[in-house]
Amino acid sequence: MSKSLKWVGLAAALVCVGSAMAAGKPAKAQIGADIDTAVDISASPTLQRWQAGGTVTLGVREAAVPMSYVIGANEKFVGYHMDLCERVVHAIAPKAQIKYMVLTPQNTMPLINNGTADFNCASMTNNLMRQKQVAFGLTTYVSEVRMAVRADSGITSFKQLQGRNVGAITGTTAVQILRKYASDNDLNFKTLMSKDQFESFLLLESGRVDAFVLDDNMLAGVIGQSQNPKGYKIVGEVIGAEPIAIQFSKNDPQIKKAVDGAILQMIRSGEMHKLYNKWFMQPIPPKGVNLNLPMGEMLKKQLAAPNDTPLEHFVLPQ
């Protein structure tokens, strides 16, 4: 089967090159042409099992709007990365049965590593430490560290935070990035720490802080779930960015090739951009709120030149 797939891909490539040459134009390199997606099904018992109709367990989150979250009494899991995960599974194993398992940040990698869950569909940064335990697909989101403010605050830049109160979440990379930015730019402000995004947002709602700093997708999610979404907006320079991707076992390299191949096809066809617009630029359940978060320049560049570069090698444009 893998030989047939390789020959079909080669034939399609030759047709494209031939058509371009016949038209007197140089052949244009296909997006991600240098990425290895030649799957050898015979070398992967797991892929064989999935393709025969076996069960694929997707790790999910219950409140990570808009990446992976649950709605309704029937607990339907939805979100940008949920759609992505489900489409990847359908592409590589159309007959597979899908079931869902709620994961936490603490147990995600152990459960992926031991095979209890096959994929993690929530938002998780690709970094070198995690790559020692799990494999990451191509980057499908780039979280940009910015800030949420009240819409009438007049704040548009981090440099306006001088002498103000700022909210942040304990233990997040956003806190480290914020502190470095403050040090590099001689800014002095008081930081009020919280345990999660909901607690930090309450500080913003109550007026105890003037801004709340975190990844843009998480800020958009908590604003969308608030009582007055139009009363807040995401502003400021991008002071940090992290590559986000779905995770799976690193013990089977054929799964990595299959997943990357499915993601590449979604990028090439424009489906990835449509998914982004669906979850970030259109009304989403359960309240029908539009997060109105246009695709960032870094994600646009990632989709134009797909890769799985970890955080440590990720360069923030100057």
Residue 271, Cβ density class (10 Å: 0-12 exposed, 13-18 middle, ≥19 buried):
middle
Q: At residue 118, what is the residue type?
A: D
State CA 9 to chain mean position distance: 28
Cα gap 75→56, rounded to integer Å: 18
User: What DSSP element (H or E) covers 300?
Assistant: helix 297-304
**Per-residue pLDDT of the chain in tens (318 residues, 90 and over written 9):** 444 344 334 334 434 444 444 555 555 679 999 999 999 999 999 999 999 999 999 999 998 899 999 998 878 999 999 999 999 999 999 999 999 999 988 899 899 999 999 999 988 889 899 999 999 999 999 999 999 999 999 999 999 999 999 999 987 878 988 999 999 999 999 999 998 899 999 999 999 999 999 999 999 999 988 999 999 999 999 999 999 999 999 999 999 999 999 999 999 999 999 999 999 999 999 989 899 899 998 999 999 999 999 988 987 765
- φ/ψ of residue 177, rounded to 5: -65, -40
Q: Is the pTM of this model over 0.85?
A: no
Domains along the chain with CATH numbers: 41-143+242-313 (3.40.190.10), 144-241 (3.40.190.10)
Q: How many CB atoms neighbour CB 150 within 10 A? A: 16
